[in-house]
Structure 1
């Protein structure tokens, strides 16, 4: 512990998080982005208690997300990122974190029992929750996807199979970086319209085939020579991953490859630090998910018939890459 460090500072961190989550849930940032407002006017629009909302807004001023002059609140540059109107908005991820918060509430019981029987999966909580989750994955992935796509030489591949590809964040990045590559994006039926919209915006829809399905229940579209599992394996148990790897091997063209992006842990399971914390997130939010060591991933890939397995990128931001061949 460094001198003058308050040992309770980390413990109190949830207070600031809860203020931001509540403000995002009420969408106050978007409302103030549209027009600087007093607490009274904003409370009337939102149908909330004016005194309670004022305390939230004043806290946001102290955080640097709002300014206050003569009782009127305005956004700062920092706060504008929480508005739905900002082109680089983080609001979908914040709304997803609001859902995650509810599952983390039961962490002590989860540690006692080994599973969170009170969890509510984001993808099972209605269409709006699903949209927030898919939007959150785009927010967290849009910059990293471009970085990873630029770091890979994919000239030998013809068709990418993006499994659980969401709204197409990685599909777009890979196609932009590889003009001759085509793609098949596979995800749940309710997600496919979200992918279609984003691919249209990116001008990529003519290079992508959209296929709806559930990779836990359905076989995967056959014939692609490169499959991508981006931020998928952590939500599964090892048994679920072995079943998924076998399904991918059946779908890939002969000589094809599987690329996995995720946290890959060291043998002690303490590096990267973000991966150790994310393992707790999976404990709170899934029935059997975890973050896995390279040895665990390689063993499960080998059991499914993959070979020439390589840890081709080591990173601390869920940006490790493992490549395996059929």
Structure 2
């Protein structure tokens, strides 16, 4: 009996359709936050389409479609005719919660989404569109304080969970004092000093950012444990001394290779023998084919920075060795802000 020909699966454009319509999901998500849907459903409230329509002051049709869209994305649950926040939405998308994530979504929607519409121009000119090099000092030099506050709020939220992941894979009992370079509002020192009670730390960042860090540190009742030192890690010749661990979280991807190498040399000069620098990033694989989170963050650096890009662990390993670090190891992470930490140990 003759063999049947092997079955062939027809090539379909389904995956291309998903890529093409990805913005539908984002804008549904962003619109629900902006209009206050998750706040309306906070604290376990379960509402019908009609009640959501009245509560948000919108017509029945958009309320119905928004609820269906958010439920399809896992942002809402439904029982009978009533909708409620899903567990992640209740925890992270209700304003006022300790780890509110909605600020990040609003920042992307207001600042980065419009900029990405000019991606062809950016590819051709190799210049960011969210700010104007030559006129502004950096991407953080903005005339819109609300947008800047959204940025720092979202960075704090992401960094908090990245710090917790780091605490689970790296043993900080070997260190006494941390330096968080470009530490923002201090999420890493706050989380790590809470986890490792023997640790003390310093946040090193630009003066306006230090004010945010001081408030977060005070709110965490860690004023006696965490210091704040204003400075500029790009322009200052040296980093603050007296630390045996230095953290660079989502810092090096903002800059070109030479800037990154220079900063790592400063880190090595500031560390005693046995000290370590920890680079927390979304790392590309060595072939530079993924993962998507790292590769697409690199594209976002094209939109946001003059020279930034996402690098691989192999590239960081080379930089660290060139800077004088005797041993390098790579530890995997599972966090929104990083998929790995590259650790360089000073001899």
- 1:266 match: 285
Distance 1:278 1:315 in 2: 16
In the superposition, the TM-score normalised over structure 2's length comes to: 0.78
Correspondent of 2:21 among 12, 18, 36:
12
| Distance (Å, rounded) in 2 between the aligned partners of 1:216 and 1:22 | 38
After TM superposition, the score normalised by the length of structure 1 is 0.83
Query: Does 1:319 pair with 2:339?
Result: yes
Q: Which residue is equivalent to 1:110?
A: 122
Q: Which residue number in structure 1 is paired with residue 250 of structure 2? A: 231
Equivalences for 1:157-196 in 2 at 5 Å?
157-196=175-214
8 Å CA contact 1:107, 1:284 repeated in 2: yes
Aligned residues: 314
Greater Cα offset, 203-212 or 120-129: 120-129
Q: CA deviation at 1:284?
A: 1.6
Report the more deviating stretch, 3-12 or 56-65: 3-12
Task: Pick the aligned partner of 1:123 from 130, 140, 144.
Answer: 140
Larger Rg belongs to: 2
What residue in structure 2 maps to residue 141 of structure 1?
A: 159
Please give the per-residue CA displacement for 1:269-313, whole angstroms capped at 9, x wherever unaligned.
Answer: 12333212221111122111111122321232233x322231331
1:60 offset after TM fit, Å?
2.3
Q: CA RMSD in A?
A: 3.1
* 3-state SS of 2:33 partner: helix
- Find the partner of 1:97 among 102, 105, 108: 108
Gap regions ≥5 residues in structure 2: 1-8, 132-137
For 1:57 and 1:105, locate their aligned partners in 2 and report how far apart those are by CA, in whole Å. 27
SS at match of 1:171: helix
User: What is the DSSP-based 3-state SS (H/G/I as helix, E as strand, rest coil) of the residue aligned with 1:264?
Assistant: coil
User: Secondary structure at the residue paired with 2:17?
Assistant: coil
Runs of 4+ in 1 over 6 A off after TM superposition: 1-5, 34-37
